[in-house]
Chains A and B, each alone.
Chain A
Amino acid sequence: MAEVVTMPKLGFDMREGTLVKWLKREGEAVNKGEVIAEIETDKATVEVEAYASGVIKGLFAREGDVLPIGEPIAVIGAPDEKVDLEALKRSAKGEEAQAPAQAAAVAAPTAPGATRPDGRALPEAPPAEALPTEIKASPVARRLASEHGVDLRQVTGTGPGGRITRRDIEAYLAQPRPAPAPPPAPAPAPVPEVVRPPAFGEERPLSRIRQLIARRMVEAKQAPHFYVTMEVDMAGAMKLRQDANALLDDAHKLSVNDLIVKAAALALREFPRLNASFAGDKIIIHPEINIGIAVALEDGLTTVVIRNADQKSLSQIAAESKEIIARTREGKNRPEDFEGITFTTSNLGMYDVDSFIAIINPPNAAILATGAVKEVPVVVDGEVRVGTRMKATISVDHRVSDGAEAARFLQAFKRILEQPLRLAV
């Protein structure tokens, strides 16, 4: 049975990928697990492995093509197998909703290339409710669909290359009517136009990652943010770290950030509303606590994830984050490195920053920004002493939660770090 290889989804917010290079040609034999192509996303270059052994029956994409996730890119079949490429491609696209990227396994990534400053214009990603531009449909099909209120995503295209034609719309309209679609979520607020600066100075084309950051940060700022800051006594936590690191090997040594991740995760157990997403007419509370860590890159930043951080030991978190951050800096990420973040942390302590406020990382409801752990004068029992303090600022989507809850979350976060045994038990 021929297997269709599709553009894999490699990240939470990945919408498309660039087919950089074919490593196999049509007619060439492949073994299961062998790399057949290299693809590039906003964040990394990764290899696509053959899911099955056989012969490449057809390649649907050319090098340089930018394809939406789930788009068929190749077919692998038995050497003597007769394959109807178009039919397979169509059915693969039809099934995409249930089984995305089934035949594609993503291998250990290749050369660094997380950022690609190639200046290529990105197609503007439509809001989810808009007519999807990745659907191939003729102009007359689009017009008829819009006149009859047909969702093109529900229509199977039978034209060349799977294009939806007039006939397909007519056939769809002739079918008994399916249940009405749920009402769409309200459209996000329009993104304001960028004010053009005067046209002089050196012009630098936006790298892909800067384009992504630009788009997502403007989107993010549509959420009404509010900010709450609290100071945390870190003396106990620092002592714990020191003691623990004396026992741990290098791969498991704890950073301050690991403590912050664990403390935030434990605090979120008490405040599930901050481990959530705003979704138009509802709030989605996430069952898992997956903590994102903002990682600075040469020309931008990304976020990696520690999944179920509330259930992991500090040394586990330390080992995992070391590995993921190293992979990220080399541009060798795996999809699971990014996916499913429910709450993000951003730490600029290593730059001696006192405190700062961060922009929420959509679709999260909140982000926690921490500054440096510093020795500062503090007043204890009416006396000035030397204390060890860190400032933490949470930014929260006001549509999801309010100031008092954010403050109580910070109190919990503070309590955990100030009684650091809580981190260890």
Chain B
Amino acid sequence: MPTITYREAVSQALWEEMERDERIFIMGEEVGVWGGTYAVTRGFLDHFGEKRVRDTPIAEGVIVGAAAGAAMAGLRPVAELMTINFALLAMDQIANHAAKLHAMFGGQITCPVVIRTVGGAGRQLAATHSQNLEVLFAHFPGLKVVAPATPYDAKGLLKAALRQEDPLLFIEHATLYPTRGEVPEGDYTVPIGKSEVKRRGRDVTIIAYSKMVLLALEAAQELAKEGIEAEVIDLRTLRPLDLEPVLESFKKTNRAVIAEEDWRSYGVGAEVAARIYEEAFDYLDAPIARVAQAEVPLPYNRELEQMALPKVADIVKAVKDMGW
């Protein structure tokens, strides 16, 4: 199986889907002539032409609003927001329009807009450009939120996103683009709304998504040296949230750590922990631990930025603190 980068995986998914379905078009800042801020759409303009690869003004509300309108009219737009931080400018279009149209029109219309954006920290882009805002969006019923960790999942999930009928926010992690993974040649999809066990283990369940899955897998290797076998589960989709594998795993391990790059307060970990307490209380052997970003606007300074972000050692420590 070929090994490709996360960037190539996303790019391949878009390319193959645009070849498959001519209703699909891309619009966003720098997606055409420049080839995308993270070089995902390089070569797309030449191949698919201006009608299907549209550079837009710096106006996020317009990008999402126009794309949502096009989706309602029958097209399959991919609206690209340069980073999730700028999605705040399009919040009304995303949360008040795209997410609600299907319900508010009594199911008469659908709005299958895919909003691709980039989240995450670690590149010294300072507090306003390094955020993990996924929970803001995962809060809204009507909007699907996907955050893949691996090239395989990124490609399969993006393809699936372009074949379904709901508005969907697709969050790529800024530091994952150069990471590599095996991706089969040819067409495949990964189902949206399905979590996956990425590593088997009997002692503790580590739940993560996006980049934190890689850190969780590293932590699991560290723990294995000490005889602690961690099961790592990748949520992949934050809404709809699939906790079946999590609960199944937890009923075996009785212990859980949730690793997330967003802030702990009101974060993904809070939601997952609450659901475990609700669904599997009698299986609990230790308080559920959360590993998350320090509760500060993220510093620009490299040392401080790294200190504030959750690390492999933090996950290892959270597991060990449960007592063995």
- Name which residue of chain B comes closest to A164, CB basis: B285
Contact yes or no, B281 A139, CB < 8 A? yes
- A165 vs B322: C-alpha distance when bound (angstroms): 10
Give every chain A residue within 8 A of B284 (Cβ-Cβ). 138-140
Residue A385 lies at the interface, judged by CB distance under 8 Å to chain B: no
Count of interface residues, chain B, beta-carbon cutoff 8 Å: 10
Give the distance to chain B from A300, nearest Cβ to Cβ, in Å.
39
B277-290 vs A, CB cutoff 8 Å, 1 = contact: the mask equals 00001111110000
Given A158-B323, A159-B323, A160-B323, residue A165 in contact with residue B282 (CB < 8 A): no
Contact yes or no, B321 A138, CB < 8 A? no
- A residues 136-176 with Cβ under 8 Å of B? 138-143, 158-160, 163, 165-166
Give the distance to chain B from A38, nearest Cβ to Cβ, in Å.
31
Contact yes or no, B323 A138, CB < 8 A? no
Besides A139-B284, A140-B284, 14 new A-B residue pairs in contact (Cβ under 8 A), listed by A number? A138-B254, A138-B285, A138-B286, A140-B283, A140-B285, A141-B285, A142-B282, A143-B282, A143-B283, A160-B286, A160-B321, A160-B322, A163-B323, A166-B285
- A290 vs B321: C-alpha distance when bound (angstroms): 51
- A139 vs B256: C-alpha distance when bound (angstroms): 14
- A163 vs B147: C-alpha distance when bound (angstroms): 37
* 27 A-B residue pairs with CB within 8 Å: A138-B254, A138-B285, A138-B286, A139-B281, A139-B284, A139-B285, A140-B282, A140-B285, A142-B282, A143-B282, A143-B283, A158-B323, A159-B285, A159-B286, A159-B322, A159-B323, A160-B286, A160-B321, A160-B322, A160-B323, A163-B286, A163-B323, A165-B285, A165-B286, A165-B323, A166-B254, A166-B285
Give every chain B residue within 8 A of A166 (Cβ-Cβ). 254, 285
Query: Which 5 residue pairs across A and B have the least CB separation, nearest first?
Result: A139-B284, A138-B285, A159-B323, A140-B285, A166-B285
Give every chain A residue within 8 A of B286 (Cβ-Cβ). 138, 159-160, 163, 165
Chain A residues near B (Cβ < 8 Å):
138-143, 158-160, 163, 165-166
- A263 vs B93: C-alpha distance when bound (angstroms): 91
- B residues 285-324 with Cβ under 8 Å of A? 285-286, 321-323
- A13 vs B42: C-alpha distance when bound (angstroms): 80
Give every chain B residue within 8 A of A158 (Cβ-Cβ). 323
- Name which residue of chain A comes closest to B324, CB basis: A167
Give every chain B residue within 8 A of A163 (Cβ-Cβ). 286, 323
- A138 vs B284: C-alpha distance when bound (angstroms): 6
- Name which residue of chain B comes closest to A162, CB basis: B323
- A140 vs B284: C-alpha distance when bound (angstroms): 5
Give every chain A residue within 8 A of B321 (Cβ-Cβ). 160
Give the distance to chain A from B278, nearest Cβ to Cβ, in Å.
13
- A142 vs B323: C-alpha distance when bound (angstroms): 17
Give the distance to chain B from A23, nearest Cβ to Cβ, in Å.
31
Give every chain A residue within 8 A of B281 (Cβ-Cβ). 139
Give every chain B residue within 8 A of A159 (Cβ-Cβ). 285-286, 322-323
Give the distance to chain A from B276, nearest Cβ to Cβ, in Å.
11
B93-134 vs A, CB cutoff 8 Å, 1 = contact: the mask equals 000000000000000000000000000000000000000000
Which of B284, B285, B286 has the largest count of A CB atoms less than 10 A from its CB?
Answer: B285
- A142 vs B281: C-alpha distance when bound (angstroms): 11
- A139 vs B284: C-alpha distance when bound (angstroms): 5
Give the distance to chain B from A294, nearest Cβ to Cβ, in Å.
45
- A160 vs B324: C-alpha distance when bound (angstroms): 9
Give the distance to chain B from A210, nearest Cβ to Cβ, in Å.
35
B248-263 vs A, CB cutoff 8 Å, 1 = contact: the mask equals 0000001000000000
- A166 vs B322: C-alpha distance when bound (angstroms): 12
- A22 vs B63: C-alpha distance when bound (angstroms): 63
- Name which residue of chain A comes closest to B254, CB basis: A140
- A296 vs B85: C-alpha distance when bound (angstroms): 70
Which of A140, A143, A165, A166 has the largest count of B CB atoms less than 10 A from its CB?
Answer: A140
Give the distance to chain B from A157, nearest Cβ to Cβ, in Å.
10
- A139 vs B321: C-alpha distance when bound (angstroms): 18
Give every chain A residue within 8 A of B285 (Cβ-Cβ). 138-141, 159, 165-166
Give the distance to chain A from B318, nearest Cβ to Cβ, in Å.
12
Give every chain B residue within 8 A of A165 (Cβ-Cβ). 285-286, 323
- Name which residue of chain A comes closest to B281, CB basis: A139
- A143 vs B286: C-alpha distance when bound (angstroms): 14
- A158 vs B323: C-alpha distance when bound (angstroms): 8
Give the distance to chain A from B189, nearest Cβ to Cβ, in Å.
37
- A141 vs B322: C-alpha distance when bound (angstroms): 14
- A72 vs B281: C-alpha distance when bound (angstroms): 28
Give every chain B residue within 8 A of A138 (Cβ-Cβ). 254, 284-286
